[in-house]
Amino acid sequence: MKTVYSLIVITFLFLPMQLSAMTGQEAADAYAGSQIGFVDSITSLQLEIIAASGKKRIKKIIYKQKEKTAVQGKLSLMIFSPGRCSKTMAILTVASIEKKMKQWMFLPALRKVRSISSDTKGGSLAGSEFSYEDLAAHSLGDYRYSPNVSSVTYQGKEAVQYSRYPNDPDSYYSRQDVVIDTHTFIMYKIDFYDQKSDLYKTLVLDMYHQVEELWRFQRATMHNHLNGNRSIFYVSSEQMNTGLSPDDFDRELLEKEMKKTRCIR
């Protein structure tokens, strides 16, 4: 699979203008191919939650992620403190190779890990405009794609836009419109549409820089078009290919470790 993605990326780097003739699936493949070399990462984040009134709240977060292996799907773990150390919580996501995503949350009040049901995946993550579904580690097979892409200009740069449709019947979204750069394939924006096909939220990724030759964003802004609220992730630091193992994403170990957790420094 890595060889296939490498050939895709090399071909498109020499023929960037032909992206407009691609299908949505091929554009998604090109984006995935641009992420080759990423095995796992540990990221320190700050989440700024901004109400339409201007009132702000800030949370500190550690985000661990591991790419899909031959026997396991993508794994991600988010641990964050909402200001009070006793309220530290965590969300574990496992996207299995059977394409069935499962999520668990450590609830500080109960000091236990509980499953997140499929009908609550669209719920707010710690009061932000990001949902549990938004923060899950998605794979190419989680979506169907538009047959064509559109050439667009994004902030003066050549880009293409394609649509993807969640395969999960419990997804909060009916469609997502994705904009990626024509040359580097970095992702600029996603427009999320609800089940009524109305524009619900927009995610903007910017302040890109290179980490171990991969383009990584340093800011992710989610704007809710219905209530005017915004939530912004700022990347404080990021380490790639740290050697995380599947045990670092074990549900039982998570509960044991979180019971000892006090604060994120």
Please report, for residues 26, 112, 245, the alpha-carbon distance to residue 258 in angstroms, rounded to integers and kept in the order given: 41, 9, 18
Alpha carbon distance 60, 58 (integer Å): 7
The pLDDT of residue 193: 98
The pLDDT of residue 17: 45
The pLDDT of residue 264: 53
Say whether domain 2-258 belongs to CATH 3.20.20.70: no
Give this prediction's pTM.
Answer: 0.83
Q: Which residues of 207-222 are buried (b: 16+ CB within 10 A; e: fewer)?
A: ebeebeebbbbbebbb
Please, are residues 231 and 50 in contact by the beta-carbon 8 Å criterion? yes
Mapped to the 3 state alphabet, what secondary structure does 104-172 carry?
EEEECCCCEEEECCHHHCCCECCCCCCECCCCCCCCHHHEEECCCCEEEEECCEEEEEEEEEECCCCCC
Closest CA to 238 of 207, 206, 220, 212: 212
- Cα-Cα-Cα-Cα dihedral sign, residues 136, 142, 146, 150: positive
Tokens 């641990």 locate to 79
Q: Which token pair is 198? A: 């109305």
The pLDDT of residue 136: 74
Alpha carbon distance 38, 185 (integer Å): 15
For 236-265, what is each residue's pLDDT tens digit? 999 988 999 888 888 887 777 777 665 555
Tell me the Cα Rg of the chain. Answer: 18
Please, are residues 89 and 80 in contact by the beta-carbon 8 Å criterion? yes
Per-residue pLDDT tens digits of the chain, which is 265 residues long? 444 444 444 444 444 445 557 899 999 999 988 887 778 999 999 999 999 999 999 988 889 988 766 556 688 888 876 555 556 778 888 876 555 678 888 877 777 888 877 677 778 888 899 998 888 767 788 899 999 999 999 999 999 999 999 998 889 999 999 999 998 999 999 999 999 999 999 999 999 998 888 899 999 999 999 999 999 999 999 998 899 988 888 888 777 777 766 555 5
Closest CA to 131 of 73, 100, 170, 177: 170
Please report, for residues 13, 47, 91, the alpha-carbon distance to residue 127 in angstroms, rounded to integers and kept in the order given: 41, 11, 14
Q: Which token pair is 248? A: 């670092």
Alpha helix segments (H runs only) across the chain: 2-14, 24-33, 251-258
Please report, for residues 46, 49, 159, 164, 229, the alpha-carbon distance to residue 232 in angstroms, rounded to integers and kept in the order given: 8, 7, 23, 23, 10
Alpha carbon distance 194, 151 (integer Å): 24
Q: Which token pair is 216? A: 């990584």
Instruction: Give residue limits of the domains in the chain.
Output: 2-258
